[in-house]
Amino acid sequence: MNYKQTKQWIVDKNIDSDKQTEMIQEAALWIKQNKLIAFPTETVYGLGANALSYEAVAQIFAAKGRPSDNPLIVHIGDSSQLDKLVKSIPLNANKLMAAFWPGALTLILEAKEAIAENVTAGLSTVGVRMPSHPVALKLLQECGLPVAAPSANMSGRPSPTTAAHVIADLDGKIDGIVDGGSTGIGLESTVLDVSKPTPMLYRPGGVSVEEIEAVIGKIDIDPALETADSAPKSPGMKYTHYAPNAEVILVDSDDSIHHLVAEAKKEGRKVAVFATTGTADYKADIVRRGESLEHTAHILYGVLRDFDEQGADIIYVKTVPTEGVGRAIMNRLEKAAGGKRV
């Protein structure tokens, strides 16, 4: 699927002019006309299509090269839209929406039939969230309909945190991009199934397990986060995701990184290292560091893409503690590395 031109609307995240509002209104009109529009959220850029149209949603899978058994998250601009999308809203869901919406939390609920079947991948449930990014919220409110929106990248690639990332992957394959600058958190939303008696985490993300449990008490962690042999109930559970072209290997210690870098360079490979904090001299060709777990999450996908652009052959990433946003960072890195860890 190719279009002659992918249109860009460049808007300030504060939407401080009538002209910017008009651009967002035009992008919203295109979504209502069943076109594909990428837009920024506080997590990553999403690729939006009318969630009520099977044909519109099918274009998402075609543009991304995404497996059709991988469900999509539905984005809304007003919580009143839930009535048309889900059969019921449990008490836990109401508590979490009050605490974290708009925000980086996707809630899985029992779906109504109005949602296009390819959004849910044939499941009886649907993941819904209300993003907090002002451009995303304005776009969704102007649409007045639910928008299915996975990350706006080619399937398997690092998710896009700038419009330039979207263009690199999808230029000519989608109708338009609303360029609202760099995203905030940098990792996708947390996905929590609240249709169960005890809510279950399907994907760690921008809202931590600790934050959720402070609101509703203990939650379960789906064992499928550790395996890939069951039908995915959430995006990012089954297939290798977030991977650059270069090989990624997770490493637990500085000593191991030093050894691996030296060996790879002997083999003539261009070596990149990504670590959170620390001052170790890894003697790699390219080294990037996160200043904190939050900063690491924010820059992770951009760093992986940058390593590719600089021609890295192999990337060693130092592991981080699985606390707070660290759980989400490690989830994405384990996917990017395909389980390769030293």
- List residues forming the annotated binding site for L-threonine: 43, 75, 129, 149, 189
Query: Phi and psi (nearest 5°) for 146?
Result: -70, 140
What residues form the annotated binding site for ATP?
66, 70, 125, 151, 159, 203, 242
**Residue whose structure tokens are 């929590």:** 192
Backbone dihedral region for residue 110 (phi beyond 0: left; psi -120 to 50: alpha; all else: beta): beta
The length of the chain is 342
Q: What is the 3-state secondary structure (H, E, C) of 14-64?
A: CCCCHHHHHHHHHHHHHHHCCCCEEECCCCCCEEEEECCCHHHHHHHHHHH
User: Per the annotation, where are the binding residues?
Assistant: 43, 66, 70, 75, 125, 129, 149, 151, 159, 189, 203, 242
**DSSP one-letter code for 223:** G
The amino acid at residue 267 is: E
Residue 307's alpha-carbon distances to 29, 108, 329, 337, 340, in angstroms, are 37, 35, 17, 14, 18
Query: Which residue matches tokens 């590719």?
Result: 308
Longest Cα–Cα distance of the chain, Å, equals: 61
Contacts for 23 with CB less than 8 Å, ≥ 6 apart: 9, 10, 11, 178
- Coil/strand/helix, residue 93: helix
Name the phi and psi angles at 338, rounded to 5.
Answer: 60, 30
